């Protein structure tokens, strides 16, 4: 249960006939709710007329039955769930972003984080661009509409914009007549598509969202690929594919993605079980019970138990009505939610030596609380095992860990961290084990070692577009 913030989930659908698509997007976003709970939005396209609604909160909070009933039927729709890694939690930063332009409308959804966002925004502002929000998604929308003035088509404008962007961007967007999906050449964030029995095409961040709306998975969008879906069918532009070395985020497999998803051909559930098996080989310990921290530690705990031959048990219960701890902004909120989110089952853990499996330790506050819960329930020993290496470097591609300041592994040894969280021992997955967990797939491991696939951004803070003037980097002169 990492104190990490991942950005967003995107969803889009193209239908051969008008139907109540808002409901379909609603179910798709529910399946992606784990990727963001700050805000959400849905835009439906009916014959070129866009109907939009978005708000702060979860899908169920924002899209009441009355709101969904107000949507018209349509032939296309896009939706988004958000946790912002660039820009604050405000309605202006909620997506989809809708653009009204002389070349036509555009509704844009973005998952990821641009590593060159600051430079691009400064360039656009010097040319007279006016921004309504503080997210990097608005930068993408500006570049597309700017390119659209001279490009022969919307897909050509998107292709030109891809040349300007660096970092992570999985995009789903809708023009008046086309549904477009884009994945950055590194493949940082997942994106896939499928098809329903009625001939509708569905694009989503994860395959679990396809399943939720009855769509059969076709394939992942390739890194650098641009897909266009319209009345003529589905078209693929691979001109940007292979322009960068593949660097999919390894943390999708460790924590971000839902266990029932398959990302780039790899089962998330299977990858986490493998991580647990590798942990058992690298950090064995005599114990009576293996317990996973709900929910992201459960698969790795099962793998550890199977490899070590130690019984697997449900030593903790999660309040299913509380969202992911990391979603709530602010350290105070995070700690308070942990207190009501988890409880230990004393009958299972009392008097036993426990192997406690979690996906990561970022700041250490959550881990300390969980260990305390098990101690209070009577656990005799607690040996914590983490299904990822120590988190030692900031991430610029879709999580909001933008400095080393709060990363506990940057300031303490493994033994010291064990003392801080109150565990009898602590063991991490080794960096080399990550490659076994994801097979031959090339992934970004920068958060565990600092080897970044892109240049490090000049301004990295999440609130870089909201800071006081005195704290911002100097503006470039015209």
**Could you give the residue numbers annotated as active site?**
8
Classify 336 as helix, strand or coil.
helix
Please tell me the number of Cα atoms within 13 Å of 191 on its side-chain side.
32
The tokens describing 294, both together, are: 């709900």
User: Reduced to 3 DSSP states, what percent helix, strand and coil does the chain have, rounded to the nearest 5?
Assistant: 30, 25, 45
Written as one string, the DSSP assignment of 400-459 is ---SSTT-GGGTS-HHHHHHHHT-SEEEE--HHHHHHHSTT--EE-GGGT---SSPPPS-
Q: Which of 163, 147, 135, 68 is nearest to 106 (CA)?
A: 147
d(CA 32, CA 324): 12
Distance CA 304, CA 279 (A): 7
Per-position b or e across 421-431, b if 16+ CB within 10 A of its CB: bbbbebbbbbe
Query: Beta strand pairing status for 49-56 and 104-111?
Result: unpaired
For residue 20, how many other CB atoms are within 10 A of its CB? 17
- Cβ atoms of 387 and 444 closer than 8 Å: no
Write the CB contacts of 187 (distance below 8 Å, at least 6 apart in sequence).
Answer: 222, 223, 224, 246, 247, 248, 264
Tokens of 468: 């006081």
Residues near 103 by Cβ (< 8 Å), separated by ≥ 6? 145, 148, 149, 154
Give the integer Cα–Cα distance in Å for 191 and 460: 25
Say how far apart CA 286 and CA 267 lie, in whole Å: 30
Per-residue DSSP letter, 72? P
Tell me the C-alpha distance between 169 and 335, whole Å: 31
Q: Rounded to an integer, what distance in angstroms lies between the CA atom of residue 423 and that of residue 361? A: 13
């Amino acid at each position: 249960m990492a104190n990490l913030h991942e950005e967003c989930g995107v969803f889009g659908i193209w239908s051969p006939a008008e139907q109540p698509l808002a409901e379909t997007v609603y179910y798709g976003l529910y399946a992606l709710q784990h990727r963001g709970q700050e805000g959400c939005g849905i835009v439906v396209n009916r014959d070129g007329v866009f109907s939009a609604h978005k708000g702060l909160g979860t899908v169920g909070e924002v899209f009441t039955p009355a709101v969904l009933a107000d949507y018209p039927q349509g032939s296309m729709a896009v939706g988004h769930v958000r946790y912002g890694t660039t820009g604050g939690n405000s309605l202006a930063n909620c997506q989809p972003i809708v653009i009204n332009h002389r070349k036509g409308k555009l509704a844009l959804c973005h998952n990821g984080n641009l590593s060159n966002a600051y430079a691009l925004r400064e360039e656009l502002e010097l040319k007279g661009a006016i921004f309504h929000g503080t997210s990097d998604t608005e930068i993408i929308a500006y570049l597309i509409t700017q390119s659209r003035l001279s490009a022969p088509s919307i897909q050509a404008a998107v292709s030109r914009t891809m040349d300007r962007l660096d970092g992570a961007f999985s995009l789903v967007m809708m023009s008046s007549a086309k549904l477009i999906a884009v994945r950055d050449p590194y493949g940082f964030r997942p994106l896939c598509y499928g098809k329903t029995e009625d001939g509708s095409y569905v694009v989503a961040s994860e395959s679990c969202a396809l399943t939720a709306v009855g769509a059969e998975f076709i394939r992942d969008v390739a890194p650098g690929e641009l897909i266009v879906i319209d009345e003529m069918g589905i078209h693929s532009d691979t001109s940007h594919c292979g322009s960068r070395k593949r660097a999919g985020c390894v943390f999708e497999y460790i924590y971000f993605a839902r266990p029932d998803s398959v990302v780039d051909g790899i089962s998330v559930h299977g990858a986490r079980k493998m991580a647990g098996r590798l942990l058992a080989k690298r950090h064995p310990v005599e114990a009576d019970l293996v317990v996973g921290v709900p929910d992201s530690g459960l698969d790795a705990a099962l793998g550890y138990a199977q490899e070590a031959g130690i019984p697997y048990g449900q030593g903790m219960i999660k309040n299913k009505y509380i969202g992911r701890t990391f979603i709530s902004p602010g350290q105070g909120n995070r700690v308070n939610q942990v207190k009501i989110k988890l409880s230990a089952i004393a009958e299972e853990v009392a008097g036993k030596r426990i192997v406690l499996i979690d996906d990561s330790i970022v700041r250490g506050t959550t881990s300390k609380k969980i260990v305390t819960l098990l101690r209070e329930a009577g656990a005799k020993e607690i040996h914590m095992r983490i299904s990822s290496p120590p988190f030692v470097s900031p991430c610029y591609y879709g999580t909001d860990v933008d400095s080393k300041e709060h990363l506990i592994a940057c300031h303490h040894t493994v033994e010291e961290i064990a003392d801080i969280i109150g565990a009898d021992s602590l063991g991490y997955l080794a960096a080399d084990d990550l490659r076994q967990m994801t097979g031959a797939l090339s992934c970004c491991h920068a958060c565990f070692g600092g080897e970044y696939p892109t240049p490090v951004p000049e301004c990295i803070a999440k609130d870089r577009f909201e800071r006081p003037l005195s704290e911002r980097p100097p503006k470039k002169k015209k």
